[in-house]
Amino acid sequence: MTNQVRVRFAPSPTGFPHVGNIRTALFNWLFARHSGGTFIVRIEDTDVNRKVEGATEAILAGLKWLGLDWDEGPEKGGNYGPYFQSQRLERYKEACDRLIAQGNAYKCFCSSERLEKMREEQTLKKIAPGYDRLCRSLTSDQCAAKEAQGVVPVVRFKTPMQGETSFDDMIWGHVKFENRGIDDFVLLKSDGYPTYHLANVVDDHAMEITHVLRAEEWISSTPRHKMLYEALGYQHPIFAHLPMILGPDRSKLSKRHGAVSITEYRDQGFLPETMFNFLSLLGWSLDDKTEVMSKDMIFENFSLERVSKVAAIFNVQKLNWMNGVYIRALSAEDFAIRALPFLEASLPGEVDRPLNFDYVKKVAALVQDRAKTLVEVGELSDFFFYDDFTYDAGLLLGKDVTKEIAVRGLENGKELITSLKSFESTELEKEFRALAEKMEVKTGQLFSTVRTAVTSRTATPPLFQTMSVLGRERCLKRIDKALEKLQTLG
């Protein structure tokens, strides 16, 4: 036995990998890596009814994408497996039997109809809902009779009816609850599966978990867990309840707030390093100024003492900003590699695939400073990839640009482009500036028309670099088309 830190992320495969859950995973990972401990993933698939096909895979994919590697768990194994609760049912049953034998738990034969009615009445009477302990006093003969009738019982814990239960939380300090507010909760369901409370306690003990870091929503069930640990004769782990992540309306972050799944953020073109950094700052901070930090820097400095108690609102604007910071920090090559799949997905079907990577690299270099997400790369650069775009002819007439100036500028520009020996951006710029001077117009007047002609847009990467990447032939064709368009103008 060592006193090495062992923490776990224990998701339930009942849906997509919610960023709130992923943040919990992240903090567990940070805590483990900071202390040189072990990070374990355990799948809590004890709810047969809510189980979602593919959810486990999506959760694991989310963890991998973020770089949260686990030391024990699915796909990986370990000495404390299996790591799926559905494969550990005997252990829960054993624990339950022991608790019944010790007088800490009992069988309950109440139907769900009765329980529902009971809760309705309690709500009506404005008293705290909770099991009324009807079956707690059943004799063994009465139990046997029920079972003979074929009623399948659940097992409930005998919660003490007075006194209080308290524990020390690394984040919340000393927390205490009165026992009378806690009802006789279910340990084993009638389908033979354990509830979270039982399975969690049994497994955390079996897996020698030293610290339980989980979301704040669990804090009020912690006394139950403590009672269970004690009844089972186990030492309980250290608890640390993490603050919640809320939506902009301050309610629990959910689908109606927009993207909540980590995979959605991936698909929207956020970088994993952005998400890692951003999520780490939801409830934790290094100091009073440092925000952009590498993965290494974060886990090296991570500490529970700097985790806040205040629920954090997920601020998408800041996420966007941070993603831009990470995008700009990428090498040109790396950025192109990451943008490529997004580009291929967003460009119209007519564009031939696969895209020429050398060309993509040149284009990417021009939008890297401008993109906040990888999906924006397509929006920002589509005109580099196909020619038959349409735009409003009026866009050719920018500020202080008359139809006459525009026509003259484009015709002179055409001539210039044709005669140029080099199509380098610096050369282009030099010549076009000279042209503007010769035409006695401001550079902006000439450039804006050429820009629209060549790109169909009024906001683009630097014009001459854009033209250089596009190439002489395409620029000429586009200018011709623009000249035609100008004729349609009155």
Partner RNA sequence: GCCCCCAUCGUCUAGCGGUUAGGACGCUGGCCUUUCACGUCGGUAACGGCGAUUCGAAUUCGCCUGGGGGCGCCA
* Number of neighbours of residue 60 by Cβ within 10 angstroms: 21
Contact between 365 and RNA per CB under 7 A: no
List 7's β-bridge partners, or say none: 39, 211
Please give the Cα distance from 294 to 103 (Å, whole number).
Answer: 53
Please count the CA atoms within 13 angstroms of the CA of 78 that sit on its side-chain side: 22
Cβ pair 171, 309 in contact under 8 A? yes
Indicate the helix (H) or strand (E) that contains 175: strand 173-178
- Six-digit token string for 164: 């209080």
**Nearer to RNA (CB atom), residue 321 or residue 359:** 321
Contact between 210 and RNA per CB under 7 A: no
Give all strands (DSSP E) within 14-128, no chain letters: 38-41, 105-108
From the candidates 64, 117, 255, 477, give the one annotated as an active-site residue: 255
Query: Site size for RNA, by CB under 7 A?
Result: 89
**Nearer to RNA (CB atom), residue 183 or residue 267:** 183
Cβ pair 7, 209 in contact under 8 A? yes
Contact between 310 and RNA per CB under 7 A: yes
Contact between 251 and RNA per CB under 7 A: yes
Please give the Cα distance from 146 to 140 (Å, whole number).
Answer: 10
Contact between 289 and RNA per CB under 7 A: yes
Contact between 142 and RNA per CB under 7 A: no
Pick out residues in 384-413 that bind RNA (CB under 7 A).
none
- Binding residue (CB under 7 A) for RNA from 252, 338, 408, 472: 252
Contact between 220 and RNA per CB under 7 A: yes
Cβ pair 464, 453 in contact under 8 A? no
Cβ pair 196, 42 in contact under 8 A? no
**Catalytic (active site) residue 372:** no
Task: Give me the helices (H) in 72-180, please.
Answer: 89-101, 112-124, 140-148
- Binding residue (CB under 7 A) for RNA from 12, 38, 159, 277: 12
Residues 6+ apart with CB under 8 A from 53: none
Contact between 157 and RNA per CB under 7 A: no
**Contact string (CB under 7 A) for RNA, positions 176-195, x = contact:** xxx--x-x-xx--xxx-xxx
- CA R_g for the chain: 32
Contact between 325 and RNA per CB under 7 A: yes
Pick out residues in 420-439 that bind RNA (CB under 7 A).
429
**Contact string (CB under 7 A) for RNA, positions 455-484, x = contact:** ---xxxxxxxx-------------------
Contact between 124 and RNA per CB under 7 A: no
Pick out residues in 328-347 that bind RNA (CB under 7 A).
328
Please give the Cα distance from 424 to 472 (Å, whole number).
Answer: 10
Pick out residues in 25-54 that bind RNA (CB under 7 A).
44, 46-47, 49-50
- Binding residue (CB under 7 A) for RNA from 101, 250, 331, 388: 250
Contact between 309 and RNA per CB under 7 A: yes
Contact between 317 and RNA per CB under 7 A: yes
DSSP 8-state class, residue 448:
H
Cβ pair 22, 61 in contact under 8 A? no
Region of 61-69, 247-255, 264-272, 473-481 interacting with RNA (CB under 7 A): 247-255
* Number of neighbours of residue 395 by Cβ within 10 angstroms: 17
Contact between 227 and RNA per CB under 7 A: no
Min dist. Cβ of residue 189 to RNA (A): 4
Pick out residues in 49-108 that bind RNA (CB under 7 A).
49-50
Min dist. Cβ of residue 216 to RNA (A): 6
**Nearer to RNA (CB atom), residue 185 or residue 265:** 185
Catalytic (active-site) positions: 255
